[in-house]
Amino acid sequence: MTPDPELARKLLHGMVRIRRFEEKSAELYSAGKIRGFLHLYIGEEAVAAGVMQALRPEDAVFATYREHGHALARGLSAGAIMAEMYGKVEGCSRGRGGSMHLFDAAAKFYGGNAIVGGGLPLTVGYALAQKMQQRTGLAACFFGEGAVAEGEFHESMNLASLWNVPALFLCENNLYAMGTALERSEADTDLVEKAASYRVQGKSVDGMDVLAVLEAAQQAAQFVRDGNGPYFLEFRTYRFRAHSMFDPELYRSKEEVERWKQRCPIAGFSARAIREGWLTPEMIAAIEAEVAREIAQAVEFAEAGTWESVEMLTRDVYTARGQTE
């Protein structure tokens, strides 16, 4: 597809915003400002940026624990996300979810799910409710290729097909389920074929090309909106950083990582946008400056945020008698 300058700017801005937010998160984690687990989306930005352009406000989004990029692309503010990772009350989950449990009901962003494959059955249930109540809007579910080995994947695909629900399954195949290469965990590495075994149509897409992602997502979303049932998209992508900040990354070579970095979705799209005349170097520099200001403001917002009072720690927690505070 050929984007107009406005769309080209949106796509690049979305990817740069995610990249710079994640880089700052890594820096803050190393400084002890962010604690717990932290899974970075660096390298996979084209998937979130492209897919979200194909979704509508009435659609629901279910994500994984590597969901900062999804949340940003969906419209959650950088400040609310950063404050959440700081554990501050001003965070999107009031500081109780942290990095892996971002949530915003108003944006129909239902996680951040820390359990591998945990968002799949939620997606099917939500899509079924949409169908039964004759509401518009589909349920879009992001998950990694590691989830394909989980029982939830097979149960969810089966029921989604059986019930013909409006679900869009979005597999981010970054080749390593934590530290296990795909060919070491799957006897058949053709993930689209696995979806087809449940009579779910699907397609494999270059997840490093934001235009390819957007075009495939638009076609798949329209297929679902037309009442044809669920659709499966596999995005072949790659994370440039380790699985998490605790990962020593001993399962892949530095040479492999460097080869994939040559296909950086941001650098590749920027060069093409200039070459095709969609954007100018000055416009790209302006995007970087705009994003830098936003990230700086997000950090300031999180730093100025408040900790939850001790008196509120039992809020939303069940008591021994089964009552809630």
Tens digit of pLDDT for each residue in 240-262? Answer: 999 999 899 999 999 999 999 99
- Nearest CA-CA partner of 288 in 20, 28, 48: 20
What structural domains does the chain harbor?
Answer: 5-242+249-312 (3.40.50.970)
Q: Are 161 and 198 in contact (CB under 8 A)?
A: yes
Q: State the pLDDT at residue 319.
A: 64
| Residue 139, beta-bridge partner list | 60, 167
pLDDT tens for each residue of 142-179: 999 999 999 999 999 999 999 999 999 999 999 999 99
Q: Encoding tokens for residue 184?
A: 């070491």
* pLDDT at 314 (0 to 100): 81
Query: Quick check: 177 and 205 in contact, CB under 8 A?
Result: no
Tell which residue, 72, 29, 80, has the closest CA to residue 47.
72
User: 294 — alpha (psi -120 to 50), left (phi > 0) or beta?
Assistant: alpha
Which stretches in the chain have pLDDT values below 70?
319-325
pTM: 0.94
Closest CA to 97 of 44, 40, 35: 35
Closest CA to 115 of 80, 152, 72: 152
Q: Write phi, then psi, for 271 (nearest 5 degrees).
A: -65, -40
Q: What is the pLDDT of residue 321?
A: 62
